[in-house]
Amino acid sequence: MSRERLIVIGGDAGGMSAASQARRRRGSDDLEIIAVERGAHTSYSACGLPYLVGGAVKAAEDLVARTPQEFERDHDIRVWLWHEATEIDVDKRVVRVRDLAGGTERVEPYDHLMIATGAEPVRPDLPGADAAGIFGVQTLDDGIVLDSYIGETKPRRAVVVGGGYIGLEMAEAMVERGIAVTLVEASPQPMDKGLDPDMGALVAEAIERIGVELRSGERVTAFEAGDDGVVRAVVTDRSRYPADLVVLGLGVRPRARLAREAGIAVGESGGIVVDRRMRTSAEGVWAAGDVVESVHRISGLPVNIALGTHANKQGRVAGINIGGGYATFPGVIGTAVTKICGIQVARTGLSSREAARAGFEIVTAAVKSTTRAGYYPGATWMTTKIIAERRSGRLLGAQIVGEEGAAKRVDVLAVAAWNGMTVEEMTGLDLGYAPPYSPVWDPVLIAARKAAEQVAAADG
């Protein structure tokens, strides 16, 4: 049997999970594996970048799960760092690769190709957007550069543009570094894409409590730079904010240009279209991670949700199939948690707006409770919101904002949503109880009961 060749484009979660799984099923004599990585690191935690910049994580190496040397030594997977794939020819089954250090290019053949190019930060097409001192943070290299820039230039004022997960986490990181922060968000509330407005308002209160100047409902129109080319201010449709540093938190989009230019199908979400086995429209080409389009299990619609949890699972599925096994990826419901300014935030399923867009008629219930029995030391507040389908009572989504002990309760709600439970069925869930961990009626059960009452009232 001739030796086959797998080329992986992208050295983080999706790509290296696929490479590792393929190697487990096929030996080195049967399959050569090469990973092409445009940066300096493999298999790192991008979710840890705000904590690196904020100082909670002391060294970038702490975020690396497995180095290129470990991949080669332990799994015979070669990694070409500082190399970028610039073109794919699906008919000839070759990839053009550029050595970013040496400037040379070469053409590499493949039998299997894994596209795991991830996502890229959205950079606004506005005057001055190319000024020095404006950062998008998506890769470990991005985080290292930003961390070094702060250490070298000692900025006093930072403007964060965008109030999503990344923007809020980076705003907190700036505060931790002693930098005065203004956060500009075009929507009325932060986290507008993931949370309902009433829950986003709780997050707004939290970030203002730590001293972040929140400017909601303002749209950035330009960036001003000094004679040295370094950013000096952010201009909005209402005001002007001085800045020594700007961090973009406008979200990310799939880095799908390579696939699109190769004629590989790209969906309406901007992600590469894949089947349940993570195969693309091109023979022998697979994809996983932030670059792909997934099916939302509740709405049934194609979505692109950039989460490391999805990337690792999708990469594993692709690698098993490349290695000759059989595995499928069942879809997503977008469960996510984060910590912002001491407040824990979680969500799963659809928001009210997403549910309406998907054609559902909904009822909602929001309940404020405590994370422990009220009399037990350390009990803190949390608000749980449930979105359910009118009449059927099916759980469509849920959101949690609260203090210590709140966020991971979303996992109960995620399991219920994943399995299509109704809020009435949820009221009987046999959840654990002890005063140090929960009130006798867990906040999830209280919210489910209130939602069930709303369902009954809506059709009563």
**CA distance linking residue 252 with residue 133, whole number of Å:** 19
Count of CB atoms within 10 A of residue 110's CB? 22
Regarding whether 179 and 240 lie in a shared domain, the answer is yes
User: Which of 269, 294, 322 is at the close of a domain?
Assistant: 322
Regarding whether 269 and 179 lie in a shared domain, the answer is no
Domain limits for position 11: 4-42+64-120+253-322
Enumerate the H helices of 164-248 as residue ranges. 165-176, 197-209
Regarding whether 175 and 108 lie in a shared domain, the answer is no
Report if residue 57 sits inside a domain: no
User: Which of 186, 220, 250 is at the close of a domain?
Assistant: 250
Evaluate if pTM is beyond 0.85.
yes
pLDDT value of residue 1? 52
Q: Which residues pair with 84 in a beta bridge?
A: 98
Question: What phi-psi label fits residue 98: left (phi over 0), alpha (psi between -120 and 50 degrees) or beta?
Answer: beta
> E strands of 64-121, at which residues?
77-81, 83-89, 94-99, 105-109, 112-115, 119-121
Report if residue 97 sits inside a domain: yes
Report if residue 84 sits inside a domain: yes
Enumerate the H helices of 134-196 as residue ranges. 140-153, 165-176
Q: Residue 221: which pLDDT band, with cuts at 50, 70 and 90?
A: very high
Report if residue 334 sits inside a domain: no
User: Which of 250, 269, 284 is at the close of a domain?
Assistant: 250
Q: Is the pLDDT of residue 107 over 90?
A: yes
Regarding whether 424 and 352 lie in a shared domain, the answer is yes
The CATH code of the domain that includes 38 is 3.50.50.60
Regarding whether 270 and 191 lie in a shared domain, the answer is no
Which residues are CB-neighbours of 250 under 8 A, at least 6 positions away? 121, 122, 123, 124, 161, 162, 164, 167
Distances 371 to 65, 119, 365, 378 between C-alpha atoms, Å: 32, 35, 18, 9
* Catalytic positions, written as ranges: 47
Regarding whether 143 and 71 lie in a shared domain, the answer is no
Report if residue 333 sits inside a domain: no
Q: Is the pLDDT of residue 340 over 90?
A: no
Regarding whether 244 and 127 lie in a shared domain, the answer is yes
Q: Residue 301: which pLDDT band, with cuts at 50, 70 and 90?
A: very high
Regarding whether 221 and 156 lie in a shared domain, the answer is yes
pLDDT value of residue 458? 87
The CATH code of the domain that includes 387 is 3.30.390.30
pLDDT value of residue 59? 93
pLDDT value of residue 369? 95
pLDDT tens readout for residues 162-204: 999 999 999 999 999 999 999 999 999 999 989 999 999 999 9
Regarding whether 223 and 133 lie in a shared domain, the answer is yes
Report if residue 174 sits inside a domain: yes
Regarding whether 358 and 303 lie in a shared domain, the answer is no
Regarding whether 348 and 302 lie in a shared domain, the answer is no
Report if residue 239 sits inside a domain: yes
Strands 119-121 and 180-185: unpaired
Give the number of domains in the chain. 3
Q: Residue 460: which pLDDT band, with cuts at 50, 70 and 90?
A: low
Regarding whether 228 and 154 lie in a shared domain, the answer is yes
Report if residue 169 sits inside a domain: yes
Q: Tokens at residue 334, please? A: 């977008």
Which residues are CB-neighbours of 293 under 8 A, at least 6 positions away? 254, 266, 267, 268, 269, 270, 271, 272, 273, 274, 302, 303, 304
